[in-house]
Amino acid sequence: MFAAANFWAACIDLAPDYSASLSALMNTLGSVGRTISSTVTAYVAVHYNWNHSLDLAALITVISGLVFSFVKASRSIEEKRPEK
């Protein structure tokens, strides 16, 4: 719960003029992920066991954290990239 403020602040830093749209997109994709995760967790737990299910959840959490670490909040989405 305490980490949620970082995600919302990142939306404001990345897209100051479109932070509400970016927050809505992020919230929608998070809801889709929660819906899929409950089904996948139940499937893995029934067909394999709970240990594998929890291992998969931990793996996805670590991967998500690594992907989020590549977000550069100091650079706005609205900035143009330099021409090559």
SS3 labels along the chain: CCCHHHHHHHHHHHCCCCHHHHHHHHHHHHHHHHHHHHHHHHHHHHHCCHHHHHHHHHHHHHHHHHHHCCCCCCCCCCCCCCCC
Query: Which domain does 53 fall in, by range?
Result: 30-71
Note whether residue 78 is domain-resident: no
pLDDT at residue number 63: 93
pLDDT at residue number 2: 67
pLDDT at residue number 72: 72
Note whether residue 80 is domain-resident: no
Q: How many domains would you assign to the chain? A: 1
Q: What is the pLDDT along the chain (84 residues), one digit of tens a residue?
A: 566 777 778 778 777 788 888 888 888 988 898 888 888 888 988 999 889 988 988 998 899 889 888 877 676 666 666 666
Note whether residue 7 is domain-resident: no
